[in-house]
Amino acid sequence: MRSIDAQFGLLKAVRRVSLTVEAGETRALIGANGAGKTTLLRTIAGAHRPTGGSIVFDGTDVTRVPVHRRVEMGIALVPEGRRLFPGLSVEENLSVAGGHRRGGYWTVERVLELFPILQERRRHRAATLSGGEQQATAIGRALMCNPRLILLDEVSLGLAPRAVAGVYESLRTLVSGGTTVVLVEQDLSRALSVASRVTCLLHGEVVLEGVASELTREQVIAAYFGTYGATAVGATS
């Protein structure tokens, strides 16, 4: 992403954000409510059109490429709120995404292996699932597209602690397998536990960026609340 601007109504939600994510990296996007995280994620996915700047994916400019073409290229979004088809079963929700799949590792059976909590619920309608089961289904639906880059928006939002732990356990399996992930998360501890790099947004701007292991919790919290003076720590130029 190069100098991306994006508006949400009359609000300039993202301001000249530049961001590079390497293959196999897990990037955590953190920041308070209204920082621009979801808008930025939707802009990467193609669901929100930027008003300035450019987005390049593996050498190809995708700034004006529609969502379905980005999915075919290997970019998949797990939106905030899951947005499953409530009347369809777990297996049917996965299969719908499989209709737009790229060739690759992920199948319905492999998704169910990654999320054991869905095995017994595979024929149950999405509307009857718990929050954790719905989130697992939403992530599995994205994986069915065999993405090269998966965008996860608010993984733990509205989930019980036990459900969050289960989802993150499966997420660690994805990360260890080399899947490239950009993760929006309010829970700092969870985000830092899986991220290789961290980017903190404040009022639509990057205020902190660096290697997760080189940033202290105090630095991250200060950036989160807008009390950190530096613009980058541990970041490469």
Map out the domains of the chain as residue ranges.
2-224
Q: What is the pLDDT of residue 28?
A: 95
pLDDT at 226: 83
**CATH architecture of the domain with residue range 2-224:** 3-Layer(aba) Sandwich (3.40)
CB 110 within 8 A of CB 144: no
Which parts of the chain have pLDDT scores under 50? 230-237
| Distance of alpha carbon 31 from alpha carbon 202, whole angstroms | 6
Torsion of CA 168, 169, 173, 179, to 10 degrees: 0
Nearest to 198 by CA among 63, 42, 25: 25
Write down the pLDDT at residue 100.
Answer: 60
Instruction: Describe the chain by its helix, strand, coil percentages, rounded to 5.
Output: 35, 25, 40
Pairing of strands 197-202, 56-57: unpaired
Q: Over the stretch 86-134, which tens digit does the pLDDT of each residue have?
A: 999 999 999 988 666 677 889 999 999 999 889 999 999 999 999 889 9
- Position 177 scores a pLDDT of 83
pLDDT of residue 160: 81
Cβ distance 101 to 108 under 8 Å? no
